[in-house]
Amino acid sequence: MIQFLLQHHSKIHSALPDSVYVPMRNLIWRQGVLRSATIVDRLGELTGIEKDDDPPRNVCLRYGTTDASKLAEDGVIKARHILGEVRDAGFDLPAEARVLDFGCGPGSVLRALQELAPNFSLFGCDLQRQPIRWLRRHHPMLHPKRTSPTPPLPAIHSDLDLIYAISVFTHMSLEHAQLWLEHFAERLRPGAALYLTFIPPDHAAFMKKFRIDPSDLRSGFYYSQTRNITIIDPDFLNERLARPARFEWVCCKTAPYSNGQRVAILRAPAS
């Protein structure tokens, strides 16, 4: 049946109205006949009936859910927090601010920002091919770019008023974190805002979950490639990462999402 559907999807879809085809596809999905979300989503892509606004399941799965609406809700919470906290920290974002989501995944935060601040110029980048490919097709206005683990960013990601990085410096080596902060300082406008989340050593739940001993953090920075986790002491972030890249530490908050990661808001160098 899978073979038949894949071989004849376009004929099947053109022969059937969406009112029949979509429930049929959903039924197949629910019954687990097609084991892979990728196959179901590929059918949606090929037949052109995927819902434009929602990332497909195979993309959502990378971000911990198959429910696109959960990702969208999460995006709204994050977007509101960014706008509110950056403003409260004393940054006056222009009406046509240029904003980069570093590690944007399927763009849930960017898509929420599109609604909240329709005049912003929004940009997204990520290492992952799938979410960027999906964003390119469905949200080209977000200028999605696939980037590398180390700088530089594409030239279009310049003269930025704000860069935010949510749950990205939570999985990064010290060397890469240093390189990115230096690069952000070059791509932000003088005095512009950087909003980044990190996991501090006093976050007991994360320390327990990843079985990290406080003694592992004597230097103030812990990174494990095998466990895919980075813990950063706020003093280390300020003195050893932000300051050498000429960022000014503005404030530090607890985020109302992602299990209460910490958010650092930094000011780019004045020149």
Ligand X SMILES: C[S@@+](CC[C@H](N)C(=O)[O-])C[C@H]1O[C@@H](n2cnc3c(N)ncnc32)[C@H](O)[C@@H]1O
Q: How far apart are the first and last CA of the chain?
A: 63
* Binding residues with ligand X: total (CB under 6 A): 17
Q: Binding to ligand X (CB under 6 A): which residues in 129-148?
A: 147
Query: Out of 15, 33, 116, 127, which residue is the one contacting ligand X (CB under 6 A)?
Result: 127
Query: Out of 47, 167, 230, 261, which residue is the one contacting ligand X (CB under 6 A)?
Result: 167
Query: Least CB distance from residue 37 to ligand X, whole Å?
Result: 17
Is 201 one of the binding residues for ligand X (CB under 6 A)? no
Binding track, positions 48-87, relative to ligand X; x by CB under 6 A: ---------------x--------------x---------
Query: Least CB distance from residue 118 to ligand X, whole Å?
Result: 21
Tell me how far apart the alpha carbons of residues 137 and 38 are, in angstroms, rounded to a whole number. Answer: 17
Query: Least CB distance from residue 47 to ligand X, whole Å?
Result: 27
Yes or no: say if 60 and 67 are a contact pair by the CB < 8 Å rule.
yes
Residue 122 or 168: the one with the smaller Cβ distance to ligand X is 168
Residue 28 or 178: the one with the smaller Cβ distance to ligand X is 178
What is the secondary structure of the chain as a DSSP string?
-HHHHHHHHHHHHHHS-HHHHHHHHHHHHHTTSS--HHHHHHHHHHHT-S-TTS--HHHHHTTT-S-HHHHHHHHHHHHHHHHHHHHHTT----TT-EEEEET-TT-HHHHHHHHH-TTSEEEEEES-HHHHHHHHHH-GGG--EE--SSSPPPTTS-SEEEEEESSSTTS--HHHHHHHHHHHHHHEEEEEEEEEEE--TT-HHHHHHTT--GGGGTTSEEEETTTTEEEE-HHHIIIIIIGGGTPEEEEEEE-SSGGG-EEEEEE----
Residue 105 or 200: the one with the smaller Cβ distance to ligand X is 105
Q: Binding to ligand X (CB under 6 A): which residues in 85-124?
A: 102-105, 108-109
Yes or no: say if 47 and 10 are a contact pair by the CB < 8 Å rule.
yes
Residue 40 or 135: the one with the smaller Cβ distance to ligand X is 135
CA distances to 124, 201, 228, 253 from 207, in Å: 30, 7, 13, 19
Q: Which stretch binds ligand X (CB under 6 A): 91-99, 133-141, 166-174, 203-211?
A: 166-174
Is 166 one of the binding residues for ligand X (CB under 6 A)? yes
Residue 79 or 250: the one with the smaller Cβ distance to ligand X is 79
Query: Least CB distance from residue 166 to ligand X, whole Å?
Result: 4
Query: Least CB distance from residue 93 to ligand X, whole Å?
Result: 19
Chain residue at closest Cβ approach to ligand X: 103
Joined together, the tokens standing for residue 158 give 């310049």
Residue 5 or 242: the one with the smaller Cβ distance to ligand X is 242
Residue 109 or 199: the one with the smaller Cβ distance to ligand X is 109
Residues lying near ligand X in the complex (CB under 6 A):
63, 78, 102-105, 108-109, 125-128, 147, 149, 166-168
